[in-house]
Structure 1
Amino acid sequence: MTSGRSLAVSRSLVWVAGVAGTVHAAFSAYWAAGGQWLLATVGTWAVDLSADAPLEAGLALAGIAVVKLLAAAIPVGAAYGRVPWPGLWRRVAWCGGSFLVVYGGVNAAVSSAVLAGLIRPDGGYDRAAMMGHAWLWDPLFFVWGAALVLSLWFSRDSSQDREHGE
């Protein structure tokens, strides 16, 4: 691929990553505000915590939402040269994206194996949470991470990187 085409592919992928991360952040913010839709797909513990300690759960989820939103937005800003220290953010994004690929991929695979009956947890399992992790949240983490890592890969030789000392 040419440098220009690689940069275009990279920027498309960083937007995919940004959207996936923003979806995650939006649900965390929605739950922080007291929303219940799809909360059971995270786990019974989350439903119980939101009922038993709504303020604490709301504050924790608000913090998680902010972190997710920053993790979704900063790579987009870095791809366009809109944040300071783009080299630092690229290194952080390599680590975070790689973590999301492994975390999302492994959890989606294990949850799917449980739902398929290939793994049988002692004491049973929370079916709604297992479905949420197998089919929604962890695949979304995987997509977020994979798009981010691929974006970084395709932009590694761009003139933008050379200008910023990478």
Structure 2
Amino acid sequence: MSSEGQVPGPGRRRSRRATDAAAVIGVVHSAATVYWASGGTWLLWTLGSRVVETFSDRLWLLWPGVLVKLALAIVPAVLVRLCWPAPRAPQMLMWAASVVLIVWGGLNTVVGNLVLAGVIRPGGRYDRNAMIGHAWLWDPLFLVWGVALACALCSARPRGHAQRSVTRSTS
């Protein structure tokens, strides 16, 4: 039996699965950035020529992004295993990150696909390869990462007074 305020067994398992999924997605996203920061060129076409040109002589600028992505990928999984419910500040940061990932990934996925389908016509030219990369790969990864993180946060929450009352009455 779990003590008051802690996540029940099934909730903790769901939370672990969701944070593990979020961690894997975040590490995959981070690994691509590590590869490019180290000079790799595979899938660079999915970023667009303007991004590639901007960072070609400043690859070191990618490393802070790697650190942020890795922290966002790994810290929630560690917190769920070590000290859930986590302190309020980390929870709020994880919720904020989840919302940003969902909104950023979701909007860019939808808009990118609408552009590719011809529903939205951007003024001037656009980089079709970059649009494909973002609409079909990078932004959906952000979206799924954010959803997995939100699922982890929801399943890890203590269930409230009603469940504690039921637990006490059956003890």
Same fold per TM (> 0.5)? yes
Q: Does structure 1 conserve the Cα–Cα contact (< 8 Å) formed by 2:102 and 2:146?
A: yes
- The amino acid of 1:78's aligned partner reads L
How big is each residue's C-alpha offset from its partner over 1:86-121, in whole Å with a ceiling of 9 and x where there is no partner?
A: 432221101101110011000000000000000011
SS in 2 for 1:113: helix
Unaligned segments of structure 2, at least 5 residues: 1-6, 161-171
Task: Confirm whether residue 124 of structure 1 aligns to residue 129 of structure 2.
Answer: no
Mapped contact 1:7–1:158 kept (Cα < 8 A): no
In the alignment, which residue of structure 2 is the partner of 1:46? 51
Q: Which residue pairs with 1:31 in the alignment?
A: 36
- Tell me whether 88-97 or 40-49 shows the greater mean CA deviation: 40-49
* TM-score normalized with structure 1 length: 0.86
Number of the residue aligned with 2:17: 12
1:96 aligns with 2:97: yes
User: Is the alpha carbon distance of 1:6 and 1:82 closer, same or farther for their aligned partners in structure 2, counting shifts above 3 Å?
Assistant: closer
Opposite residue 151 of structure 1, the aligned amino acid is: A
Q: Secondary structure at the match of 1:119?
A: coil
Residue 109 of structure 1: aligned partner: 110
Contact residue 78 and residue 86 of structure 1 kept, 8 A: no
Backbone CA RMSD of aligned residues: 1.9
- Aligned equivalents of 1:92, 1:158: Cα separation in 2: 21
Distance 1:22 1:158 in 2: 30
Give TM-score, length-normalised by structure 2.
Answer: 0.83
Q: SS at 1:91's partner residue?
A: helix
Q: Alignment partner of 2:82: what SS?
A: coil
How far off its partner does 1:49 sit? 2.6
Query: For the pair shown, which has the larger CA radius of gyration, 1 or 2?
Result: 2
**Residues 82/157 of structure 1: CA separation in 2 closer, same or farther (3 Å cut):** closer
Residue 79 of structure 1 and its aligned partner are, at CA, apart by 0.6
State the Cα deviation string for residues 36-81 of structure 1 (Å, max 9, x = none). 1111211211221344x2xx2x111111111111111111111111
Query: What CA distance in whole angstroms lies between the structure 2 residues aligned with 1:149 and 1:120?
Result: 33
Unaligned runs of 5+ in 1: 160-166
Separation in structure 2 between the aligned mates of residue 18 and residue 154 of structure 1, nearest angstrom: 16
The one-letter code of the counterpart of 1:95 is A
